[in-house]
Structures are given as structure tokens and as C-alpha cells.
């Protein structure tokens, strides 16, 4: 009855931590493609090929449902996967839609026409590949009208987090927020469009100021997953053991993950 959680590196651990707390009886298999991280600087075909390989590996672990806890994969690969690759007895879900539903205050499955919402000026902080895909703006347009989105590609932040250099990551966050402010001086809301970024949520909030509501994905995705599994209990696969898999150096990744989650995490070679 396992569910798969995939990320290009360690950022998806923020989602994993939230979903395991929300669904403590569900085993989760986490797959980090650390050998190829970060995805945010790769082209769409490369991201697609790496993502499908990872998802196939999670299916082998008995995870019929896989969460792409990677915004770049959700933006650059998910639609193509859903249209031509995923078999009918499997599901792969991204992390954009729950975030947009929270921003626009729409319930899961609300297919009514797009409408005006309270938030008008939104800052999107994401990887270069996610920004280039415009997937966030496309999904938002299905649900809301009149929302101005200013996207800021946050080069270097994921690399700094993966390397454990949080001082550099914080400096980069301040630099990217400054760049965003030059384009949109007074955003009402900010989307942290990368699952690494919740680790820097306080830095984003500090740089943006107290009047900006910062939307982070982990808890939002956890609630959406709980709702989805309530409606689709058959999508919990036959896997029964929680585990952590990585394409990178298992010892090094385990050490970093333990630092991030502040509990012992042991990765196996994928």
C-alpha cells in the first residue's frame, strides 16, 4: 500500500515529511535522483527522460500512485507523461495544481469556468526550467482571471541547498527577491515554486516583508493527497515498506537528508 514520492534531489523531503505526518499509516517510497540534480537547468526532453525512469522504478516498488515532488518535473514532463506514457492503472500527480487551488480558493475537482479571485499580484519563485515552461501560468489560467504573475528564476538556490551551504542560499534568496521587486514592487502573494524552497521559507518571508502571504507546497500537497486517497483508495499500491532510494552517493545523501529532516534517514542505492 505504498505511495511513491519523487524529486530530483533532496527538496522533495519537505513534501515527504508533510505527507508522512498527515498519513502516518501509509508507507512512502522516496526516490531522489541526486546523481542528476538539479533538474532546473536541464531541457524538457532531458527532464522527461529522467522523470519517466524514476517513476518506472517507483512502480517496481509497488507504488501505483507517484507524487512528483519536483516542480521542474511537474512543469516540464507531467503533461507529456499523462498524454502518452502513463498506463491506465497508474497515476502520477504533480505539485502545481494543489498550490493553485489554495491560491485561488477552489476545491479539488472544481471545473467551473475561471473567475476573479482576491489575489491580483503574484510573485513566482522557481527554477529556470519551471519559469521557462510557463506551466504555473497555464494551470492558473484554467482557474482564475485577472491575476498578474511575475516569475523570478532563482538560479543557484537549489545547488546551494543540496551542498548544504545555507548561508549562500539565503544570500541568493535575498538577491532574487530584490530582482523580483524591481519588476513587481508590491506582490500580494508569493509562490515558492520549488520543493527545496520551504527550507528557505523564513528567508523568503523576511525579504518579501510581513504583508506578503507566502505559499509553500508541503502541507498543501499533503492535504490534497489525503483527499485524493480518500476518494481513490484503490490507488494505494501493493508496496508495504517505506524506504529511501537515490541515484547518488547513498552515504552522502543520507547525511544531508538527516540534517534536513533532523531525524536519521538512510538511503539505499536505486
- Cα–Cα distance measured from residue 133 to residue 118, given in angstroms and rounded to the nearest whole number: 25
How many CB atoms within 10 Å of residue 95?
27
Report the helix count and the strand count for the chain, using DSSP H and E.
12, 12
Q: Containing H/E element for 214? A: strand 213-215
CA triple 65-63-246, angle to 5 deg: 110
Q: Which letter does DSSP use for residue 113 in this model?
A: P
The residues that are catalytic are 70, 194
Find cell 546523481 and name the residue.
Answer: 35
Among 93, 88, 158, 165, smallest CA distance to 130 is for: 158
Judge whether 246 and 267 are in contact, CB under 8 Å. Answer: yes
- Cα–Cα distance measured from residue 75 to residue 270, given in angstroms and rounded to the nearest whole number: 24
Amino acid at each position: 500500500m505504498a505511495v511513491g514520492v519523487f524529486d530530483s534531489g533532496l527538496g522533495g523531503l519537505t513534501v515527504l515529511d508533510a505527507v508522512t505526518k498527515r498519513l502516518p499509516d501509509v508507507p512512502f517510497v522516496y526516490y531522489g535522483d541526486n546523481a542528476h540534480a538539479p533538474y532546473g537547468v536541464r531541457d524538457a526532453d532531458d527532464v522527461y527522460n529522467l522523470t519517466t525512469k524514476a517513476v518506472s522504478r517507483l512502480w517496481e516498488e509497488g507504488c501505483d500512485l507517484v507524487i512528483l515532488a519536483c516542480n521542474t518535473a511537474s512543469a516540464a514532463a507531467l503533461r507529456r507523461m499523462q498524454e502518452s506514457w502513463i498506463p491506465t492503472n497508474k497515476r502520477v500527480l504533480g505539485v502545481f495544481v494543489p498550490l493553485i487551488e489554495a491560491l485561488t480558493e477552489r476545491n479539488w475537482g472544481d471545473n467551473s469556468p475561471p473567475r476573479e479571485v482576491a489575489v491580483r499580484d503574484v510573485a513566482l519563485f522557481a527554477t529556470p526550467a519551471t519559469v521557462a515552461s510557463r506551466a504555473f501560468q497555464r494551470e492558473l489560467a484554467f482557474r482564475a482571471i485577472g491575476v498578474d504573475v511575475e516569475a523570478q528564476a532563482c538560479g543557484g538556490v537549489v545547488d546551494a541547498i543540496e551542498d548544504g551551504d545555507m548561508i549562500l542560499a539565503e544570500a541568493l534568496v535575498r538577491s532574487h527577491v530584490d530582482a523580483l521587486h524591481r519588476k513587481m514592487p508590491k506582490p500580494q502573494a508569493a509562490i515558492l515554486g520549488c520543493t527545496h524552497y520551504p527550507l528557505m521559507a523564513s528567508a523568503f518571508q523576511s525579504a518579501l516583508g510581513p504583508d506578503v502571504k507566502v505559499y509553500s507546497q508541503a502541507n498543501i500537497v499533503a492535504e490534497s493527497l489525503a483527499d485524493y486517497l480518500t476518494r481513490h483508495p484503490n490507488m494505494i499500491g501493493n508496496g508495504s515498506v517505506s524506504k529511501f532510494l537515490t541515484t547518488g552517493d547513498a552515504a552522502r545523501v543520507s547525511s544531508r537528508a538527516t540534517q534536513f529532516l533532523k531525524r536519521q534517514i538512510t538511503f539505499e542505492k536505486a
